[in-house]
Structure 1
Amino acid sequence: MFISKEFTFDAAHQLVNYNGKCENLHGHTYKLRITLTGDIDKSGMIIDFNLIKKIVEEKIIEKLDHNFLNNIVAQPTAENILLWIWKELYPVFNFPSCKLYEITLWETENSFVTYRE
């Protein structure tokens, strides 16, 4: 079974050695979906939504929201930001009952990247 939670954050970035609009400083309202997989435990849940929220806000949102992403992620493309998020969350969402399955990051309403191992 899968359980997902979505988050939003606002951040600025610019792409280095890129020929296009994104070489200029600009920002996005990003949307992030975290999906975990696991079995339902004796409480009737895979994991409490509040625990997902607490972990993601502490590990990701507090670091990225209203920040300049170039200071955190080298060449902050959607792909590189997503890989950074995965590396931050994968060791944390490693419970006996559930594991990180997939994450998706929307840079715009119609442009997004998804990663899973």
Structure 2
Amino acid sequence: MSTVLEGRCLCGAIRFEIRAPMVKFSHCHCSQCRKGHGAAFASYGRTRRKDLYILSGKERIKAYASSESVRREFCADCGTSLFWSGNSPEMADWISVALGTIDTPFAAPGVR
């Protein structure tokens, strides 16, 4: 896997890099992820917040508290679901990235 992963939203207004390997890959099929992605499940990889760099469009990122414990972030222009994070102390340093937004080829262990 490349040490730097590049990603963007559908319209390209928001571009980002992940500058460390992601961990904890998953397919979530909770009702919120299904609705937020418009699909049967959403695929995510987790990274430390310090390793996620927004290169452009930071002002276009909008947030929504989908529950008391989860905050979802998306592009205000095209609606692309980008990130989610939990507000518990153990999740403070982590953010989950929607794998479909990553442009750099990579292999996520256990996710096919």
TM-score by length of 1: 0.29
Bigger strand fraction: 2
Bigger helix fraction: 1
TM-score by length of 2: 0.30
